[in-house]
Amino acid sequence: MALVRWEPVSLNRLLNNTFFDSPTAGNRANGVRRWIPAMDLVETDDHFVLKADLPGLNEGDVTIEVEDKVLAVSGERKAEHEDKREGYYRVERSFGSFRRTLTLPDGVDPEAVSATFDKGVLEVRIPKPEQRKPRRVAIQVGDNAAAIEGSDSEN
């Protein structure tokens, strides 16, 4: 069962993050700052658990939405050193807005998804859908069957 489909990484962003060693090259894609927080997805017996490292953020800086079987986590970490006149010549900590999405399996109840935020780590718990089990139908015998049929016709 495939659970996750992350946003694709553009070739330009991959190249910028890998090969350019300027203060903002890894954070800029077409002039817009970009931050991609690290996320883990693990499977337990009854849940999928998504953990995201979001240092410097609090729960009010993050939005979690579930729509059409897609869970989206988004937010923004503000830059702390915008004024270049202060003598900053290298800024390595990433900042900016982010949005990560994953496709949920069929049958996940969006109302049952829960999230906690502690010490800069967001944890989203996604209950696994219940496996459909066959329903056993009781077979009535003799007088019990007639009594049940009779009670249905009286109503």
Q: Domain span at residue 98?
A: 11-154
Within-domain flag for 59? yes
Within-domain flag for 35? yes
Task: Say yes or no to pLDDT of 112 above 90.
Answer: yes
Tell me which DSSP letter residue 46 carries.
S
Within-domain flag for 1? no
User: Which residues lie across from 121 on neighbouring strands?
Assistant: 53, 118
Within-domain flag for 105? yes
Band of the pLDDT at 131, cuts 50, 70, 90? Answer: confident
CATH number at residue 100: 2.60.40.790
Band of the pLDDT at 16, cuts 50, 70, 90? Answer: very low
pLDDT number for residue 93: 77
Within-domain flag for 18? yes
Task: Say yes or no to pLDDT of 57 above 50.
Answer: yes
When pLDDT is averaged across residues 7-28 and rounded to a whole number, the result is 43
124 CB-contact burial (10 Å; exposed 0-12 / middle 13-18 / buried 19+): buried
Percentage, residues of the chain above pLDDT 90: 42
Asked if 106 contacts 69 with a C-beta cutoff of 8 angstroms, the reply is: yes
Q: Using one digit for the tens of pLDDT, what is the confidence trace for 20-53?
A: 333 344 444 444 456 889 999 999 999 999 999 9
Within-domain flag for 3? no
pLDDT number for residue 81: 61
Q: Greater confidence, 54 or 25?
A: 54
Within-domain flag for 4? no
28 CB-contact burial (10 Å; exposed 0-12 / middle 13-18 / buried 19+): middle
Within-domain flag for 5? no
Domain count, the chain: 1
